[in-house]
Amino acid sequence: MSGVQTPSIDFDAFIFDLDGTLLDTADDLGGALNRVLADANVAPVAEHVYRPAASNGANALLEVGFGDKWPELEQLALRQQLLDYYAEDIAVHSKCFNGIEQLLIALEQNNIKWGIMTNKPGFLTEPLVQAIPSLRDAKAVVSGDTLAVSKPSPDPLLHTAEILDVDPSRCLYIGDAERDIQAAKAANMYSATALWGYIPSLDAALGWQADFNWQTPIDAFNHI
């Protein structure tokens, strides 16, 4: 698909990334990070520090927290510790971004299928989705370990389209990370950048050349 703002298109399915796109999970992820840091007698990090890393996985969060010390540490053990803490309190603060619930309702009302494709591992994805009532009606939920590969590989997106029984070229994938846009392009899907999410910067996000760059979920209503 092209990297320019495309005219209105009728889609058969919307597929969403999870963290930073459907859900604001940064405070629960940051809380788990700060528990790990406290155990290591390292000062906690503030929201504005951990939030940009929230879409990039446990290692990215730990690197933000430990800084220059991170390469020298027991990374696998610390990653597991963070995931364990996160699993304990996975949906304390997490909630849909403003406009997401209305968007999902509109998709249902217009008989447009929708699903979730995230790099988050299944043991975290499944309880998180179940904890958020608005997400329980997803017609497909594909996690980072559902297949042997994850984004930016197109395979998980193609698998999601197969579950939804929709041609990939009739799908739109929405995400807040460069790998999301790369995966969509490789899967021959249209792509939209969730600028409300955990993007590194506006300039960087626009440089990914998604088909659409949306300031809020309400921007998607033009394509329903």
Q: Give tens-digit pLDDT for 173-203.
A: 999 999 999 999 999 999 999 999 999 999 9
72-102 residues labelled b (16+ CB within 10 A) or e (exposed): eeeeeebbebbbebbeeebeeebbbbebbbe
Question: What contacts 200, CB < 8 A, 6 or more positions away?
Answer: 52
Q: What is the pLDDT of residue 224?
A: 87
| The pair of three-digit structure tokens given for residue 140, joined into one six-digit string | 């497909």
Q: What is the mean pLDDT of residues 33-58?
A: 94
**CA-closest candidate to residue 191, choices 11, 20, 53:** 11
For 60-109, what is each residue's pLDDT tens digit? Answer: 999 999 999 999 999 999 999 999 999 999 999 999 999 999 999 999 99
Inform me whether the pLDDT recorded for 2 exceeds 50. Answer: no
Inform me whether the pLDDT recorded for 6 exceeds 70. Answer: no
Q: What is the mean pLDDT of residues 10-21?
A: 96
Q: Measured between alpha carbons, how far is residue 190 from residues 22, 91, 173, 186, 203 in Å?
A: 18, 30, 6, 10, 20
d(CA 189, CA 41): 46
Report the share of the chain in percent with pLDDT over 70.
Answer: 96
Q: What is the pLDDT of residue 8?
A: 61
Q: Measured between alpha carbons, how far is residue 127 from residues 63, 96, 123, 165 in Å?
A: 26, 15, 7, 25
Which SS3 state, helix, strand or coil, does residue 157 take? helix
Confidence band of 4 (pLDDT split at 50, 70, 90): very low
Q: Which residues are catalytic?
A: 17
Q: What is the pLDDT of residue 23?
A: 98
Q: What is the mean pLDDT of residues 117-129?
A: 97
